[in-house]
Amino acid sequence: MELWYTEKQTDNVGITCKVNRTLHTETSPFQRIDVLETKQFGRMLLLDGLVMTTEKDEFVYHEMIAQVPLNTHPDPQRVLVIGGGDGGSLREVTRHPKVRQATLCEIDARVIEVCQEYFPAIANALRGNPKAEILVADGIAHIQERPHYYDVILIDSTDPIGAAEGLFTLDFYRQVYKSLKEDGIMAAQTESPFYDLNLVRKIYKNIEQVFPVTKLYLASIPTYPSGLWSFTLGSKRYDPEQVKEADIPDMPMQYYTAQIHKAAFNLPKFIDDALKTL
């Protein structure tokens, strides 16, 4: 018998993966959580049936959401990850040499616990890391408690439906702005330009209303819809495209390089055009 899992990425297209077995399934107070063992991508985490991360391609998303803003900031000492209960973004933050405090604020404790059990290489900073502060709390409430506090905030959320809807609003980005220091930077995962260009533009326009420097960047993630994923960086002062290669620390990477840092901001014409449209 062959078992295949199909995620409908839109109403009309999906990715289908051969599954060895289901390792875990539960419904937490916030969402359904599944861990599958796939042939192509190794272990796969799904929330409400959507692929969040896999062992084989997680490096792209986590390096790119974290290292681009971290290396845009000259001294990212205090960093917050909102969401990201799998720990991958936190791992990237804690291994950055300049970071002193890495706070994770995840609303669903069960995501953290499940990932600690099934994804040790992704979740390794979630336990026993001296730089890490792990909070099970609402990210929107948390940033209101820490005004003018963080150098970098990463918004590592699920899609803008259900629990994460509030993490894509204009009001939320204003709160993020207030929780950042005077030269702070945020970066957020902001969906697929091929399948949902209007949504990408809408989020970008929200962030652009709040941050003087707003730039979209891209990475290739096979298990995410269309394989091309966008991130939006909002910055109070520093321009991510002006970073000097010599200032980027030499760390082991699988996707990110100093050249990729810059190349990722060069957008295909149809995306660039969409962002320029009012």
Q: Which residues are catalytic?
A: 156
Q: Which of 269, 276, 277, 278 binds a second copy (CB under 8 A)?
A: 269
40 or 77: CB nearest a second copy: 40
Cβ 16 to a second copy shortest distance, Å: 5
What is the rounded distance in angstroms from the CA atom of residue 26 to the CA atom of residue 5?
A: 17
Q: How far is the CB of 277 from a second copy (least distance, A)?
A: 14
Residues 45-84 within binding reach of a second copy (CB under 8 A):
57, 59-60
Work out which of 132, 215, 256, 275 binds a second copy, going by CB under 8 A. Answer: 256
What is the Cα–Cα distance from 78 to 70, expressed in whole angstroms? 10
The 191-220 contact track toward a second copy, x by CB under 8 A, reads ---xx----------------------x-x
Q: For residues 185 and 210, give the distance between their C-alpha atoms in angstroms, rounded to a whole number.
A: 12
As a whole number of Å, the CA-based R_g of the chain is 18
Residue 222 interacting with a second copy (CB under 8 A): yes
Nearest Cα to Cα of residue 122 among 158, 91, 84 = 91
Picking from 113, 106, 61, the residue whose alpha carbon sits closest to that of residue 85 is 106
Tokens of 239: 């321009």
Check: CB of residue 153 under 8 Å from CB of residue 82. yes
Distance of alpha carbon 149 from alpha carbon 140, whole angstroms: 14
Among 15-23, 105-113, 144-152, 175-183, which window interacts with a second copy (CB under 8 A)?
Answer: 15-23
Cβ-based burial of 125 (10 A; exposed 0-12, middle 13-18, buried ≥19): buried
The minimum distance between CB 103 and a second copy, in angstroms, equals: 28
Question: Using the rule CB under 8 A, is 11 a contact of a second copy?
Answer: yes
Instruction: Give me the residues that bind a second copy (CB under 8 A), please.
Output: 6, 10-18, 38-41, 57, 59-60, 194-195, 218, 220-222, 226-228, 253-257, 259-260, 262-264, 266-270, 272
